[in-house]
Amino acid sequence: MNVITKWRFVRILLTTGSLFIGWILFSGNFVPASLIIGLCFSFAVAVLTYGIFIDEKEADRKGLLPRFHILFFYLIYLLIKMYLASFKVLFNVVRGHINPRVVHFRTKLKSDLARVILTNSITLTPGTITLSIDDDHLVVHWLDSKTTHSKYAGLLIKGTMEKMLKRTFI
């Protein structure tokens, strides 16, 4: 079995696993017949669509499977950051001290999954919305802009999130 065939098999298994987890979450049914049917349909869909879920060029395990203990702390950090940012946005809007801008900056994350998590984290944080992502280039609307310099704006918006995601996905 050559490397391409092994990678195709791994992609099918990872796709089947994620689809089966979705089946369990949406059905909420743990009857053995339901689980077997869910597994069969997940496998059938994975065989037909594995190329859509996991790209062929993402052959490194590190880019697909995170370090779950760091990801857990990242989620706690994100919740705290969202909570604090909501109060900051509230006070700025009530006082009328807003300075909205669209800023452009780059990320150092290599994994597509890590970039998606970063952009969603930026959007979930009150006061920032990710408008576009193109490879490593992000366009973000920032409600309380402190600078127009792209590198400094990126450091203020990404903050610790990018560093933690870099450690999560290596």
| Residue ranges of domains in the chain | 3-59, 64-169
Enter the tokens of residue 22: 């979705």
**Which one-letter DSSP state was computed for residue 155?**
H
Residues in CB range of 2: below 8 A, 6 or more apart: none
Can you give the pLDDT at residue 69?
A: 86
Residue 169 burial (CB count, 10 A): 23
Enter the tokens of residue 145: 């802009």
Can you give the pLDDT at residue 59?
A: 56
Scan for tokens 């001290």, then name that residue. Answer: 97
Q: How confident is the model at residue 145 (pLDDT cuts 50, 70, 90)?
A: confident
pLDDT of 33 higher than 70: yes
Q: What tens digit of pLDDT does each residue of 115-139 get?
A: 999 999 999 999 999 999 998 899 9
Scan for tokens 């065939």, then name that residue. Answer: 5
Q: Report, as an integer, the average pLDDT of 82-104.
A: 92
Q: What tens digit of pLDDT does each residue of 40-75 get?
A: 999 999 999 888 877 777 655 555 667 888 889 999
pTM of the model: 0.70
